Structure 1
Amino acid sequence: MKTFFSLFLLACILTGNLTASENKNPPHKKSQTRPATQATTHPNIVIFLADDQGWGDLSHNGNTNLHTPNVDSLAKEGVKFNRFYVGAVCAPTRAAFLTGRYHARTGTIGVSTGQERFNSDEYTIAQAFKAAGYATGAFGKWHNGTQYPNHPNAKGFDEYYGFTSGHWGHYFSPMLDHNGTFVKGNGYITDDLTDKAMAFIEQQVQNHKPFFAYLPYCTPHSPMQVPDQYWDRFKDKQLKLHNREPDREQPDHLRAALAMCENVDWNVGRVLKKLNSLRITDDTIVIYFSDNGPNGVRWNGDMKGKKGSLDEGGVRSPFVIRWPGHLPAGQEVNQIAGAIDLLPTLTDLAGIKRPEPKPIDGVSLKPLMLNSKADWPERMIFSSLRNRVSVRTDQYRLSRKGELYDMHADPGQRNNIAKQKPEITAKLQQAVTDWRQSVWPNGYPEDTRPFLIGYGGARSTQLPARDAVSHGDIKRSSRHPNCSYFYHWTSISDSITWNAEVDTAGIYEVILYYTCPQADIGSTVELSFNGSKLQGQITQPHDPPLVGAAQDRAVRSESFVKDFKPMTLGKITLTKGTGQLTLRALEIPGSQVMDFRLLILNRIE
C-alpha cells in the first residue's frame, strides 16, 4: 500500500497535478488524505516572521484599514495568543526565537556593527530539527550575524536565501546571499523569498523528508517599497482607524506599511495553498508572528509605544499557530507567552529531542494550546533593550522607569499605580534586579567581540562596510550601518578597519566590492593584518547610479544602494590571531579612492 501511494504521488508531481498555480488551489479542507511520503509522527514546520509589523496591522485584530484574510485564516483554524511578547527591535527577537533564551544572554545586544550576533556557542532551533532528520531552510532577513559561526548555514540551515544584515536598501531584484554566494534576486523581494521557500517545500515532499521552513520576511520594514498593485489600494484611501496620537502619523509611511502588510498576507496565502496542493496541510504546523511593534505611528489597538519601546505597543506581537487535527481551531489564549517559548513548544509538538548545551528561558506552550484553562503557573516575561528592562506578568507591567500599570484595567498604560500598589511594585522591581544579575552578572557588557575569519575552517568570510570602522574623513552613506557603504575616501591618511580574529590560518584570496568613476581610477590600496600585507590597484571604472528613490513610497533614512562590482585584490597570508584588519590607500591619483561596500576573504590553502 505504501508503495502504491508513493507511486501515485510521484505520478501527480510529474503530471503537474500537485503544482498548479498557487492562486487556483481550493481552500484547506479538513481530514485530507495524507500521502505516504510524509511521516505524521514528525510534522513539517513553517514559520512566518514579519518585520516591523505591529499587533494592530492585521484585520483579525480589529484593523479595518487593511485586509489580511490569509493570516486571519490561521487564527480561525488554529490557536491565537492574545498576549505574545517579542523584542523591541529586530535582531533580539530573532535571537530569542532561534535559541529559546533571552537575547541578552546570547550576546545579541543591538541591531548592527556586530551587536546583532549571538555568541558562537548558542544552539538554535534549526540545529535541533536538523539533528532530528529534518531538511531545514531559511528564506529572508537573518539579522544574527554574517560571518561563520553566525551565518544561517552554520547555525543549522541547509538552505539559505536572503540577506544577513538588519535591513536592505532595495526590494526589487537586489543582491542576495544564497548559501554564502551573492546572487541577483528575482522581482519584489517578499515574492521572491516566498518562491524559493515553496520550491524548497516541494522538493522535500518529493524527497519524502520532513522540513523546517523559516520565512523571516523583511517587510513592512523600511525602505517603504511595495509593488504598484498594493500601493494603489492605499495611496488615496481614507483610513478609519488612527493612532492614539493621530497628529504624529506620517500618511505616506503609514499607507505604504499597510500595503506591504497586504503583500505579506498574499504571500502567506501562496504558501498555505502550496501546502494544500501538496496534501500536507494536516501534517504541517504553521506559525505567524512579528519581531517588534509597528515601525511608525499608526493604529495599534490603543497601546502605548511602537518599535524601540519597552511599553506594550513596542513588544506585543501577533501570534497564531495552526496544526489541523492536533490543535483546536479558533482557540484563544490570554496567558502571556513569548518568542523564547517557540523552541521548546515546537520540539515538544514535533516530538524531537532538545540537546541544547545551555539552559533555555522558554517553556512549552502545548498545555495552553490544548486547554486554555490549564493549570498554568504565574510567570514573568522580561523585555530589554540595551540596559533598559521592563517586566510583564499576566496582569501587570512594570515599565523601564519603574511605573506600574494594571494591564487588565488600563491596557493603554495611562494610569501609573506604583504608589497604590507598593508591594507589587517592590516585587517586580526585585525581579528585574534578579534578572539583571542573571543575564549580566558582571554588569551590562560592552561588545568587544572580533569579527571571525575562517571560523571552524569556513572557506569564505564576508566583511561588509557595516562591520567596519572608518577613520579620517571617510563617510558612511547612512547613519544606519546595516546596508551602508563608505564614500569620500580622499586621503592616504584615511583608513577602514575591522576588529578581526583569524580562526584558521592560511592563504586567502581577497575580493573587494567597489565603485569608481573613470576620472578616479588608479588608486593603489593595501590590506594588512598583523604584519601580512597585500597591495592592489583600482584599474577598471565602474560608476553605476544610486537606486531606490524611484521605488520609495515615503522618505527613507536608510542608504540608497548601487551595483557594486567585485574585483580580485590578490592573495594574503593570514596567521591565526586577533588584530586590526586595515584597508588603506597608498596612492590616490584622482579625487577619491573609491566607494567601498564589502570584502570577501576566500581561503584557498
Structure 2
Amino acid sequence: MNTHPRPNIIFIVADDLGYADLGCYGGRDAAFGPVSPVLDQMAANGLKLTQGYSNSPVCSPTRFALMTARYQYRLRGAAEEPINSKSRGSTTLGLPPEHPTLPSLLRASGYRTALVGKWHLGYPPAFGPLRSGYDEFFGPMSGGVDYFTHCSSNGSHDLYLGEEEKQQDGYLTDLITDHALDYVERMAPGAQVGNPFFLSLHYTAPHWPWETRDDEALAQEVKGNLFHLHGGNIETYRRMIHHMDEGIGRLMALLEAKGLARDTLVVFTSDNGGERFSDNWPLVGGKMDLTEGGIRVPWIAHWPSVIAPGGISAQTCLTMDWSATMLDAAGVSAAPDYPLDGRSLMPLLRDASVHDEPPLFWRMNHRGQRAMRQGVWKYLRVDGNDYLFNLSQDERERANRAPVEPQRLQAMRAAWEAWNASMPAIPDDATVSLGYSSKDIPQR
C-alpha cells in the first residue's frame, strides 16, 4: 500500500515515437544538437525501462488499453486498427461512456482530471473525453491532424475545447503544451493542499504530417493534402520531437516552480512503435507490426519522492500496467465488474531491482499477427508463419529458433491460444486502416 501522499499524475504519450528516437535510448543527435535533452534528463533523474511495450502497434487500440487498464480486445472499438474518420456518427466504434476508465476512477476518488491532446477513441455524440472521466478536454478527436490548420485527413477542422470546436492559431505541439501549462497553473493551488490532479498529456508529435514550428508557409502550400507518404525527412522528424521535448521541459519547470515536482508522478511513453523516419535500432519493423519495432517503446517514470534517480530496468510491461500503477499510486481500486488486466508496477517504482516475467500477449488483424513474450522468449506469427526468438541474444528477430526448439514453440503457441480463447473474437467487419507499411520504415 502506498504510504506517500496521493500524487499528482501526468501521463505523457507521444504519437508514433520510435524506440531509439530519444537520446537516452541510443538515438543520435540531429544537425541542430541533442533531440531530447529534457526527456534524457528525466530518465537520468528517474527510472528508464528497456523492455517496455505498448498494448498495440497502432494508435487507438493502445489508447483503449491505457484508458481501461484492460486488454483492448475486450472492446469492439479496439478491433479497428485504428479507428478512422469513417467512424464519425458510429455508436459502436469508440470507448463506451459506461466503461470505467483511469480518469473516471480517479475522479470518483477526488482527483481533478483533464486530457490535453489526442483522443482517438470515437466521436461525439456517442463518445468523447468528457463522457469517459475527464473534466476538461483540449485537442483533436481523430488520429492525425495538420499542425497549423488543425484539419484531419478528410479536410475537416478537428480541434476542440470540451465538445465545442476551437478555432485557435498556432503550431499544435505548442498549443497542447500551452493548454497543459494553463491547466497545471489552475490546479496548483488545490494540489498544494492535497487536492491532486490527473493530466493526460497526449501529444500528436511526431505523427505525420511532418511539420516543424517553422513550416507554416509550407503547410499552407499543401493545405488539404495530408497523405503522409508525400513529405517529411529525418531532420524535420527530429525537430518535431525536439519541440515536444521543449514543451515537456516547460511543464517540468512549472511543477518545480509550484513546489509540485517531488510529489508528482510523471510517466512518458509512445502509443506504438515508430513510423518511416523513426530510429528503432536495434529493433526491426514498426507501426502496424508485432515485431519488436512496432511494440517496444520508451518508458520513463519520474517521481522524486518515490523513484530513486538513475534506475534502469529490464522489466517487461504493457501500457495497461502503467494505468494500473497510477490507480495503485492513488490508492484507487478497480470497479468490481471490470477487473484489471494491467498489474501495478509500484514495487518497481520503489526498487528498480525488482523483476518478474509475466506473459505478455498481442494479436493483430492485419496480416493475422499474434505474439507472446515471456522472459527472454518471444513467439510470433505473421502471415501464417510461426517464429520463436530469444530476445536476449537476438533483438533483431533474425534467428528463428522454432525448428530447433519445437517443444518451446508448441508450449508458447498453446499458451497464446488459451489466452486468445479468453478474449472476444475479432469481428468479421473489423477494418484495418493502412496507408503505410513497415517497408517504408528505414532501418539503420
The verdict on a shared fold, with TM-score over 0.5 as the criterion, is yes
- The SS at the match of 1:282 is coil
For the pair 1:160 / 2:143, whether they are aligned, the reply is no
The CA deviation at 1:375 is: 6.0
Note if contact 1:160-1:177 (Cα within 8 Å) is conserved in structure 2: yes
Going from structure 1 to structure 2, the CA distance change for 1:375 and 1:143 (only over 3 Å counts) comes to: closer
Instruction: Tell me the C-alpha RMSD between the 2 structures.
Output: 2.6
- Spell out, residue by residue over 1:354-403, the C-alpha distance to the aligned partner (whole angstroms, 9 max, x if none): 32531221101111222333363x31111222252111122011112310
Residue in 2 that maps onto 1:304: 284
Note if contact 2:19-2:279 (Cα within 8 Å) is conserved in structure 1: no
Residue type matched to 1:446 in 2? D
Q: Which moved more, 1:339-348 or 1:380-389?
A: 380-389
Whole-angstrom CA distance in 2 between matches of 1:423 and 1:368:
32
Going from structure 1 to structure 2, the CA distance change for 1:149 and 1:155 (only over 3 Å counts) comes to: farther
Whole-angstrom CA distance in 1 between matches of 2:186 and 2:44:
29
The CA deviation at 1:173 is: 6.0
Whole-angstrom CA distance in 1 between matches of 2:171 and 2:412:
46
Q: Which moved more, 1:154-163 or 1:336-345?
A: 336-345
- Spell out, residue by residue over 1:311-366, the C-alpha distance to the aligned partner (whole angstroms, 9 max, x if none): 00000010011100211211111021010102211111222233253122110111
Note if contact 2:268-2:301 (Cα within 8 Å) is conserved in structure 1: yes
Going from structure 1 to structure 2, the CA distance change for 1:411 and 1:188 (only over 3 Å counts) comes to: same
Whole-angstrom CA distance in 1 between matches of 2:299 and 2:355:
21
Whole-angstrom CA distance in 1 between matches of 2:10 and 2:169:
22
Residue in 1 that maps onto 2:51: 83
Residue in 1 that maps onto 2:428: 446
Going from structure 1 to structure 2, the CA distance change for 1:227 and 1:281 (only over 3 Å counts) comes to: same
For the pair 1:276 / 2:276, whether they are aligned, the reply is no
Out of 298, 323, 327, which is 2:307 matched to?
327
Whole-angstrom CA distance in 2 between matches of 1:252 and 1:166:
18
Out of 182, 185, 188, which is 2:165 matched to?
182
Whole-angstrom CA distance in 2 between matches of 1:263 and 1:230:
15
- The SS at the match of 2:38 is helix
Residue in 1 that maps onto 2:72: 103
Residue type matched to 1:306 in 2? G
Residue type matched to 2:363 in 1? S
Whole-angstrom CA distance in 2 between matches of 1:345 and 1:479:
32
Residue type matched to 1:185 in 2? Q
Going from structure 1 to structure 2, the CA distance change for 1:160 and 1:252 (only over 3 Å counts) comes to: closer
Whole-angstrom CA distance in 2 between matches of 1:333 and 1:199:
34
Out of 71, 81, 89, which is 2:39 matched to?
71
Residue in 1 that maps onto 2:224: none
- The SS at the match of 2:48 is strand
- The SS at the match of 1:404 is strand
Residue type matched to 2:389 in 1? Y
The CA deviation at 1:229 is: 8.7
Note if contact 2:79-2:426 (Cα within 8 Å) is conserved in structure 1: no
Note if contact 2:233-2:277 (Cα within 8 Å) is conserved in structure 1: no
Scaled by the length of structure 2, what TM-score is found? 0.83
> For the pair shown, which has the larger CA radius of gyration, 1 or 2?
1
1:425-444 equivalences in 2 (<5 Å): 425-440=409-424, 443-444=425-426
Residue in 2 that maps onto 1:142: 119
- The SS at the match of 1:321 is strand
Out of 323, 338, 343, which is 2:323 matched to?
343
The CA deviation at 1:447 is: 4.8
- Spell out, residue by residue over 1:30-54, the C-alpha distance to the aligned partner (whole angstroms, 9 max, x if none): xxxxxxxxx9621101111000111
The CA deviation at 1:210 is: 1.1
Residue type matched to 2:50 in 1? N
Q: Which is strand-richer, 1 or 2?
A: 1
Note if contact 1:88-1:383 (Cα within 8 Å) is conserved in structure 2: no
Residue type matched to 2:362 in 1? S
Note if contact 1:97-1:343 (Cα within 8 Å) is conserved in structure 2: yes
Whole-angstrom CA distance in 1 between matches of 2:121 and 2:147:
20
For the pair 1:216 / 2:202, whether they are aligned, the reply is yes
Whole-angstrom CA distance in 2 between matches of 1:341 and 1:363:
5
Residue type matched to 1:367 in 2? P
- The SS at the match of 1:332 is strand
Scaled by the length of structure 1, what TM-score is found? 0.62
For the pair 1:52 / 2:16, whether they are aligned, the reply is yes
Residue type matched to 1:421 in 2? E
Note if contact 1:92-1:116 (Cα within 8 Å) is conserved in structure 2: no
Whole-angstrom CA distance in 1 between matches of 2:276 and 2:430:
32
The CA deviation at 1:297 is: 4.8
Residue in 2 that maps onto 1:295: 275
- The SS at the match of 1:362 is coil
- Spell out, residue by residue over 1:399-418, the C-alpha distance to the aligned partner (whole angstroms, 9 max, x if none): 12310010001111111000
The CA deviation at 1:438 is: 1.0
Structure 2: gaps (5+ residues): 152-156, 218-228, 436-444
The CA deviation at 1:195 is: 0.7
Residue in 2 that maps onto 1:264: 244
Residue in 1 that maps onto 2:220: none
Residue type matched to 1:423 in 2? Q
Going from structure 1 to structure 2, the CA distance change for 1:355 and 1:148 (only over 3 Å counts) comes to: farther
Residue type matched to 1:444 in 2? I
